[in-house]
Amino acid sequence: MDITKEIQKLKEEKNAIVVAHNYQNKDIQEIADFVGDSFYLSKICAQRQEKMIIFCGVYFMAETTKILSPHKKILLPEINAGCSLANMITADDVDRLKEEYPDYSIVCYINSPASVKAKSDVICTSSNAIKIVRNIPNNKIIFLPDRNLGLFVKRNVPEKDIVLWDGFCFTHSKIKKDDALKAKSDHPDALLLVHPECREEVIELADFVGSTKQIIDFVISSPAKEFIIGTEIGILHSLKNLNPEKRFYILSQRMICPEMKKTILTSVREALLHEKYEINVDENVLEGAQRALIKMLKIG
Ligand code: 13P
């Protein structure tokens, strides 16, 4: 049997849904019931009736889904699909920061381990980071773990004292000013849209800075016809599907996240067949992480 039909049949038998992040391979996005950014997907999973979720993405995303849906079975088809950025900070690091900066509030990007979320005051995503930092009553903030997103927030909220952690995403951070200048000169009529995990020198050249969802929404409502996309290449699939009359150029062919590309159709079939790999979150950590995520919903 064709593998996509097999996946469909297994989904029905198991009463499961498959969700995929915007950076997943094209064929994974095509078999998914929902495609989007990690927080949107976690919220969808919490609202759905199905008790089994196959999360095609990286570890912290499936973990966040489990935090918001602790009674559901959350499966990550490739257990080694991680996020280098999320792994650049630990709960012990947060303890040390708290000692060093006792009167600071901790705002933590969703790309982080559950144990770090649990020790944070509030979580943010790349789409609401500015709003969260602006609205949190404390003027002293520690922003974890992405320094580029943190710098972007700092620039937009200059009235606050923001301490940054030195984490970064390999896929976004390796793109330099020269890459952006070259793409702009190759496509002079195109707008440059970049993710805030990019370096400041790239962000400065952009026409728009936003999360994957914000980039997709910007393109849909823009009258422009050509766009240079400064985020992971997988997003081109949705962009092209939703805007067949517009043209897209990836900022650099090196904008590929190897972790996101680990999940292939056979991984999804195996996940459904053998109900693997189940993601669980330590009970002591779950409650704190849930509190910080719920606070984001209130503030954001
Ligand atoms: P979004 O929240 O914009 O989808 O970003 C996810 C991500 O991991 C960026 O590297």
Long-range contacts of 27-35 (CB under 8 A, 24+ apart): 27/264, 27/265, 28/56, 28/263, 28/264, 28/265, 28/268, 29/234, 29/237, 29/238, 30/4, 31/4, 31/7, 31/265, 31/268, 32/56, 35/238
Distance CA 196, CA 212 (A): 10
Peptide bond before 277: cis, by omega within 30 degrees of 0?
A: yes
Residues of the chain with pLDDT > 70, as a percent, come to 100
Whether the pLDDT of residue 292 is over 90: the answer is: yes
CA 109 to ligand 1 centroid distance, Å: 10
Whether the CB of 24 sits within 6 Å of ligand 1: no
pTM over 0.75: yes
On the 0-12 / 13-18 / 19+ scale of CB atoms within 10 A, 186 is: exposed
Mean pLDDT of 158-167: 98
Residues 198-255: tens digit of each pLDDT = 999 999 999 999 999 999 999 999 999 999 999 999 999 999 999 999 999 999 999 9
Q: Please give the pLDDT value at position 115.
A: 98
Q: Give residue-wise pLDDT tens across range 90-130.
A: 999 999 999 999 999 999 999 999 999 999 999 999 999 99
The 10s digit of each residue's pLDDT in 249-279 is 999 999 999 999 999 999 999 999 999 999 9
The secondary element (H helix, E strand) that includes residue 206 is none
- pLDDT of 39 above 90: no
Q: Residue 88 pLDDT more than 90? A: yes
Task: Give the Å distances, CA to CA, from 167 to 80, 123, 197, 199.
Answer: 20, 16, 10, 12
**Closest approach atom of ligand 1 to CA 169:** 10
Q: Tell me, rounded to whole angstroms, the distance of Cα 128 from its chain centroid.
A: 12
Distance 9 CA to ligand 1 centre (A): 30
CB 226 within 8 A of CB 247: yes
Percentage of the chain exceeding pLDDT 90: 97
What domains are defined for the chain?
3-82+260-280 (3.40.50.10800), 86-169+284-299 (3.40.50.10800), 175-250 (3.40.50.10800)
Verify whether ligand 1 is closer than 6 Å to residue 112 (CB atom).
no
Distance, in Å, from the CA atom of 275 to the CA atom of 52, rounded to the nearest integer, reads 9
Determine the average pLDDT of the residues in 34-59. Answer: 95
Give the number of the atom of ligand 1 that is nearest the alpha carbon of residue 21.
4
pLDDT range class, residue 284, cuts 50, 70, 90: very high
Question: Is ligand 1 within 6 A of the CB of residue 126?
Answer: yes
Which atom of ligand 1 has the smallest separation from the CA of 22? 4
Ligand 1 atom closest to 58 (CA): 8
Phi, psi of 70 (to 5 degrees): -65, -20
Q: Are 63 and 40 in contact (CB under 8 A)?
A: no
Distance 1 CA to ligand 1 centre (A): 34
Tell me the CA distances in angstroms from 159 to 141, 153, 275, one per residue in order.
Answer: 11, 11, 49
Q: Tell me, using a 6 A CB cutoff, whether residue 212 lines ligand 1.
A: yes
Phi, psi (degrees; rounded to nearest 5) at 120: -100, 160
CA of 231 to the centre of ligand 1 (A): 9
State if residue 169 touches ligand 1 by the CB under 6 angstroms criterion.
Answer: yes
